[in-house]
Amino acid sequence: MNRDPHHDTSDWHRRAAALSIDGRAFIAGRRFAGSEAPRAITSPVNGEMLAELASCSADDVDTAVAAARRTWMPWARRGALARKAVLLALADLMERDFDELALLESLDSGKPIRQTRTVDVPGAISTVRWYAEAADKLHGELPAVPPGAVAMVTKEPLGVVAAIVPWNFPLEIAVWKLAPALAAGNAVVLKPAEQTSLSVLKLAELAAEAGLPDGVLNIVTGSGREVGAALARHMDVDALAFTGSTAVSRTLLAASGASNLKRLGLEAGGKSSNLVFADTGDLAAAAGKAAFGAFYNQGQVCSANSRILVQRPVYEEFATLLQQAAEAFAPEDPLADAAGNGALISSAHTDDVAAWITRGRQDGEVLFGGGRKTICGSDAYLEPTLLAGLAAEHDVHRDEIFGPVAVLHPFDTETEAVALANATDYGLAASVWTSDLRRAHRVAGELVAGTVSVNTVDALGNTTPFGGFKQSGFGRDLSLHAFDNYTAPKTTWIQFG
């Protein structure tokens, strides 16, 4: 394990400069330069070039899918115990190269190194271990059938699984897909986001070192339009697991319908509300968590609690406490060990988020934050920002901003709060703060969301399913439910009488 706690900032920058980064794709167990012109990847941390990323073509996607097609059955036939051993070995190798994975993830995405070392990388490792351990516990059924027969229902792998993932949690979300898919006996062709492909490419090398047979995990890099769309319309891909925007989700549904009806799991966008009732016991604790829910990961979280609805008697006090709590999410050099927040994914995305702040300022007010910063020579940094005074119908309340920008809004009654929270096209998450047990159950039951957190925000774990209602998509990541995306029940009926 390589988790030396004695790094100062200059040390992380020095280690970053010394990294040798390979941006080539990974197909059939080998690095591959891609058939199209490579793309220069710059780090949002400092705007400096990180790597030349391979751009795969549709033909390269065919090669990767063919490799997966050849290898999935032998991988499945190795049996669950063997698959478990390989995935456990992968987790051990991720521990060995822990700091390199964390540094790659920070440089590629702008996340603070503190976060990648405490959340992203350990989270990904724990998920690989969890599905490794689950591999040999996927039991079938022996349903009741008439005398003279026995029927077995087994959970069969689907074959070739494509995964298309976004840039906000590049390693973790990739692992949410590939760990259960591989554990169940599928082969995977994964397309990372073009902004953040480096940690997953490293992961594929570690998987090969762990003993994963060539072709069972392939990483095709490049643009969504070329590589992602080629996977979506591919006739030889059995299932497609996606996390990303609702807009791209629609194109994937259409592509599945127009090709081979491949099974889809879609984790799309969100606009989640945090309901703070006046009977919340510890308002300061609620404000601390609310700041986390809105500003963590620079607010680039699909389940970000970016609508904060507060009951009127505690509204003013809560706003003050939230401002204090938000200080912990001030942007800093992401490679400084104590950095609260880091950079957004790019300067261009920061422009888009800043435009929302401008709109909020025009139509309402900025209660705190709003400033853009240049740090380490990059202008992809934004202060945590709270908007207020905006009508509940305003786009700020309805649209995903995907940056460190939240909106505060008062409410009077429980009914009003639930109606406000449910008035979006999304249904990914919601949080409720109250010390009244009856209210907690009542409100949680009425909120249309895949996860409702009570007296916390954004609760998530390997053991609990994560996914959405409404236009936040369907299918679930994490927990045993994720196996439903990557397996199908098969009935074997044996007549003996």
| C-beta of 369 vs 468, nearer to ligand NAD | 468
How far is residue 326's CA from residue 320's CA, in Å, rounded to a whole number? Answer: 10
- Is residue 219 within 8 A of residue 192, CB to CB? The reply is yes
Question: Which spans of this chain sit near ligand NAD (rule: CB under 6 A)?
Answer: 164-168, 173, 191, 193-194, 224-225, 228-229, 232, 243-245, 248, 251, 267-270, 302, 400, 402, 428, 468, 472
DSSP summary character for residue 389: S
Looking up tokens 């010394």, which residue turns up? 18
CA angle 287, 288, 290 (to 5 degrees): 60
At closest approach, how far in Å is the CB of 402 from ligand NAD?
Answer: 6
| C-beta of 302 vs 319, nearer to ligand NAD | 302
Could you tell me the end-to-end alpha-carbon distance of the chain, in angstroms, rounded to an integer? 58
Share of the chain residues as helix, strand and coil, in percent rounded to the nearest 5: 45, 25, 35
DSSP summary character for residue 408: E
| C-beta of 85 vs 253, nearer to ligand NAD | 253
- Is residue 305 within 8 A of residue 337, CB to CB? The reply is no
At closest approach, how far in Å is the CB of 114 from ligand NAD?
Answer: 21
Residues 6+ apart with CB under 8 A from 411: 275, 309, 310, 311, 312, 417, 420
| C-beta of 314 vs 428, nearer to ligand NAD | 428
| C-beta of 100 vs 458, nearer to ligand NAD | 458
At closest approach, how far in Å is the CB of 136 from ligand NAD?
Answer: 27
Collapsed DSSP state (helix, strand, coil) of residue 358: helix
| C-beta of 264 vs 319, nearer to ligand NAD | 264
Beta bridge pairs of residue 244: none
| C-beta of 193 vs 430, nearer to ligand NAD | 193
- Is residue 46 within 8 A of residue 17, CB to CB? The reply is no
At closest approach, how far in Å is the CB of 266 from ligand NAD?
Answer: 8
| C-beta of 167 vs 277, nearer to ligand NAD | 167
Phi, psi (rounded to 5 degrees) for 203:
-60, -40
At closest approach, how far in Å is the CB of 164 from ligand NAD?
Answer: 5
Looking up tokens 């006739």, which residue turns up? 235
Looking up tokens 């780090």, which residue turns up? 43
β-bridge pairing 160-164 and 239-243:
parallel
At closest approach, how far in Å is the CB of 168 from ligand NAD?
Answer: 5
- Exposure of 457 in the CB half-sphere (CA atoms within 13 A): 24
The structure tokens listed for 152 are 């077995």
- Is residue 338 within 8 A of residue 114, CB to CB? The reply is yes
At closest approach, how far in Å is the CB of 465 from ligand NAD?
Answer: 11
Which of 496, 294, 240 is CA-nearest to residue 403? 294
Which of 285, 294, 298, 289 is CA-nearest to residue 407? 294
Kindly list the catalytic residues.
267, 302
At closest approach, how far in Å is the CB of 32 from ligand NAD?
Answer: 18
Phi-psi region for residue 148, left (φ > 0), alpha (ψ -120 to 50) or beta? left
